């Protein structure tokens, strides 16, 4: 029995995983997932301050006597009395008795008297203490992905080091007698090995790293030994090729003989049907079909969510969006299908050359369209797209 895509996802998501926690400086924490809750140590802002360059005024009037100035970072000892104004700059602490800040562009000064154009309304242009966060408030929960804005937020709370989840250690094995590394001369019948490169960069583009990669010929004992060596050292092992039903597809048996427990084999999907997922102790193995588009599609749909889960993510998988299709499309696939596609100006086009052996269309596109069943789709209909 072949698994559905949802069943495969469920098996991946239901795995018990071990995670370790590490400390990172905030500047080194981009792309990690938080392993602790961050709460605000103080009200933010922690004092009422000016949102504008202008004047802090006391009382509501058309003119004020200017008695001094407060720069950002200053604490003014000056008392502001009714009818008085202080020159003030963005971010500077507001004196307690100020009614409002009047922006510079709405004022005129003559002989140290400030004239205001228009009404002064109470509290205007004052950023109040605690209006962004109050002391003790939850800022981020564990599992939050640390983005540049998250780092800015955490820095503004005075925190410079974080607890994050360690990322899994990943290794890649490519298999196949026919494969030659790019940069070398190939003979007739040979092709260039590309999957380990696309997989390695797919890892990198999502914040993961390939510790090590190797290529192994279609030789049972070499594959078995190679797998054993990498299994020991890795949290996740990705194997490309050799997992189909051909006479020289040795990967599945080699995994079995190395004590890897099969969690699923074959998913009702296109491309990527002969996908294998297994584990030995705390090491997970994906054996990906060798066709270039299959292996990369399987990475995005099935491997990436596991890597994110292992890294403590509170949500996994690529972003999915319903987007109107830019043309009619007759989907005749008997299996749920991931189609190479391109989103441009809010519309998606399914690209030519969809074969699982072809990666050019995937490289020109920026999305996959997911279609669950055969259907005639008309231009303008919404289809589910996955942003890659
Ligand atoms: P396999 O899954 O080993 O039967 O391979 C399926 C197809 O993908 C064959 O045409 C292989 O030549 C091709 N292929 C397998 N591995 C790679 C690779 N690492 N890079 C490029 N093509 C590959
Ligand atoms: Mg092969």
In percent, how much of the chain has pLDDT > 90?
Answer: 98
Instruction: Please tell me whether residues 160 and 172 are part of one structural domain.
Output: no
- Between CA 126 and CA 322 the distance in angstroms is 41
DSSP 8-state code for residue 348 = E
pLDDT (0 to 100) of residue 56:
97
Residue 315 included in any domain: no
For residue 77, pLDDT beyond 80: no
Confidence of residue 126 (pLDDT cuts 50, 70, 90): very high
Q: Which ligand is nearest to the CA of 244?
A: 1
| Residues 257 and 329 occupy one common structural domain | no
In angstroms, the CA 66 to CA 225 distance is 83
Last residue of a domain, one of 77, 101, 127: 127
**Residues 177 and 277 both lie in one domain:** yes
- pLDDT given at position 271: 98
Tell how far the Cα of 241 is from the centroid of ligand 1, in angstroms: 5
Ligand nearest to the CA of 193: 1
Q: Is the pLDDT of residue 216 over 80?
A: yes
| pLDDT score at 76 | 73
Q: Does residue 200's CB lie within 6 angstroms of at least one atom of ligand 1? A: no
Q: Which of 288, 310, 332 is the last residue of a domain?
A: 310
Query: Could you tell me the CATH number of the domain that includes residue 326?
Result: 2.40.340.10
What's the average model confidence in pLDDT over 57-83?
92
Query: Is 251 strand, coil or helix?
Result: helix
**Do 176 and 303 sit in the same domain of this protein?**
yes
Residues 190 and 207 placed together within one structural domain of the fold: yes
In 34-95, at which residue ranges do the beta strands (DSSP E only) sit? 38-39, 49-50, 54-57, 63-70, 84-88
pLDDT for the residue numbered 226: 98
Residue 178 Cβ inside 6 Å of ligand 1? The answer reads yes
User: Could you tell which of 214, 220, 241, 292 is best to mutate to test the pocket of ligand 1, judged by most ligand atoms within 8 Å of the CB?
Assistant: 241
Confidence at 33, pLDDT banded by 50, 70, 90: very high
246 lines ligand 1 (CB under 6 A): yes
**pLDDT at residue 354 greater than cutoff 80:** yes
DSSP assignment letter at 343: E
Contact 333, 358 (CB under 8 A): no
What pLDDT, on the 0 to 100 scale, is given for residue 136?
Answer: 98
- For residue 175, how far is its CA from the centre of ligand 1 (angstroms)? 8
- Residue 276 sits in a domain whose CATH number is 3.40.980.10
User: What is the span of the domain harbouring residue 348?
Assistant: 320-387
Backbone angles phi, psi at 124, to 5 degrees: -70, 145
Q: Which one of 310, 333, 351 terminates a domain?
A: 310
- Say whether pLDDT at 387 is over 90: yes
Percent of the chain with pLDDT over 70: 100
Same structural domain, 114 and 213: no
pLDDT digits (tens, 9 = 90+) for 293-325: 999 999 999 999 999 999 999 999 999 999 999
Mutate to test the pocket of ligand 1, among 210, 290, 295 (most ligand atoms within 8 A of CB): 290
Q: How far apart are CA 167 and CA 165, in angstroms?
A: 6
The rounded Å distance from CA 179 to ligand 2 centre is 9
Residues 99 and 184 grouped into a single domain: no
d(CA 368, CA 320): 9
Domain with residue 94: its CATH number is: 2.170.190.11
Q: Which helix (H) or strand (E) holds 321?
A: strand 320-324
Nearest one of 46, 72, 50 to 157, comparing CA atoms:
46
Q: Are 175 and 61 within one domain?
A: no
**pLDDT confidence of 289, banded at 50, 70, 90?**
very high
| C-alpha neighbours within 13 Å on the C-beta side of residue 215 | 15
Q: How far is the CA of 216 from the centre of ligand 2 (A)?
A: 10
Q: What is the CATH number of the domain that holds 138?
A: 3.90.105.10
Q: How far apart are CA 139 and CA 129, in angstroms?
A: 16
CB 95 less than 6 A from any atom of ligand 1: no
Q: Does 378 map to a domain?
A: yes
Classify residue 300: in a domain, yes or no.
yes
Residue from 176, 218, 247, 298 whose mutation best tests the ligand 1 pocket (most atoms within 8 A of CB): 176
User: Which pLDDT band, with edges at 50, 70 and 90, does 144 fall under?
Assistant: very high
Closest ligand 1 atom to residue 294 Cα is 8
pLDDT band at residue 180 under the 50/70/90 scheme: very high
pLDDT single digits (tens) 85-120: 999 999 999 999 999 999 999 999 999 999 999 999
pLDDT of the residue at 79? 84
**Which ligand is the nearest neighbour of the Cα of 240?**
1
User: Which of 257, 300, 304, 295 minimizes the C-alpha distance to 276?
Assistant: 295
> Which residue's CA lies nearest to atom 10 of ligand 1?
291
193/278 same-domain check? yes
**Average pLDDT, whole number, for the chain?**
97
Give the pLDDT mean for 201-220.
98
In whole angstroms, give the CA distance from residue 284 to residue 262: 10
| Number of C-beta neighbours around residue 268 at 10 A | 15
**Kind plus residue range of the DSSP H or E element containing 215:** strand 210-216
At 203 the three-state DSSP class reads helix
Give the ligand 1 atom nearest the CA of 196: 19
Q: Which two tokens stand for residue 224?
A: 């078995």
271: preceding bond cis by omega (within 30 degrees): yes
For the chain, the domain total comes to 4
| Cβ–ligand 1 contact at 289 (below 6 Å) | yes
Tell me which residue of 50, 30, 179 sits closest to 102, measured CA to CA: 50
pLDDT at 78: 77
């Amino acid at each position: 029995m072949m698994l559905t895509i949802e069943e495969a996802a469920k098996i991946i998501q239901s795995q018990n995983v071990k995670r370790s926690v590490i400390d990172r400086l905030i500047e080194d924490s981009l792309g990690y997932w938080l392993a602790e809750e961050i709460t605000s140590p103080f009200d933010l802002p922690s004092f009422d301050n000016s949102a504008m360059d202008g004047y802090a005024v006391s009382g509501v009037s058309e003119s004020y006597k200017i008695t001094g100035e407060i720069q950002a970072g200053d604490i003014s000892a000056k008392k502001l009395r009714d009818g008085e104004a202080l020159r003030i700059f963005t971010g500077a602490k507001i004196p307690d008795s100020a009614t409002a800040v009047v922006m510079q562009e709405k004022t005129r000064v003559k002989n140290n008297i400030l004239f205001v154009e228009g009404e002064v309304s109470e509290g205007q242009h004052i950023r109040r203490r605690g209006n962004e966060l109050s002391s003790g408030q939850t800022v981020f929960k564990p599992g939050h992905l640390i983005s540049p804005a998250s780092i800015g937020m955490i820095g503004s709370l005075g925190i410079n080091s974080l607890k994050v989840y360690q990322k899994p250690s990943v290794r890649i094995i490519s298999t196949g007698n026919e494969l030659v590394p790019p940069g070398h001369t190939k003979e007739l019948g040979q092709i260039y090995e590309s999957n380990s490169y696309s997989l390695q960069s797919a890892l990198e583009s999502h914040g993961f790293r390939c510790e090590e990669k190797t290529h192994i010929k279609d030789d049972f004992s070499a594959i078995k030994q190679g797998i054993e060596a990498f299994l020991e050292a890795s949290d996740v092992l990705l194997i490309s090729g050799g997992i189909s039903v051909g006479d020289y597809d040795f990967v599945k048996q080699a995994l079995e003989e190395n004590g890897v427990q099969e969690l699923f084999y074959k998913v009702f999907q296109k491309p990527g049907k002969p996908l294998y997922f297994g584990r030995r102790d705390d090491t997970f193995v994906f054996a990906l079909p060798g066709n270039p588009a299959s292996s990369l599609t399987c990475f995005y749909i099935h491997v990436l969510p596991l890597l994110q889960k292992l890294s403590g993510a509170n949500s996994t998988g690529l972003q999915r969006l319903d987007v109107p299709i830019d043309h009619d499309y007759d989907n005749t696939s008997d299996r749920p299908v991931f189609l190479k596609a391109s989103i441009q100006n809010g519309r998606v086009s399914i690209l030519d050359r969809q074969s699982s052996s072809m990666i050019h269309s995937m490289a020109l596109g920026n999305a996959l369209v997911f279609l669950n069943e055969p259907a005639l789709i008309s231009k303008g209909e919404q289809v589910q797209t996955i942003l890659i």
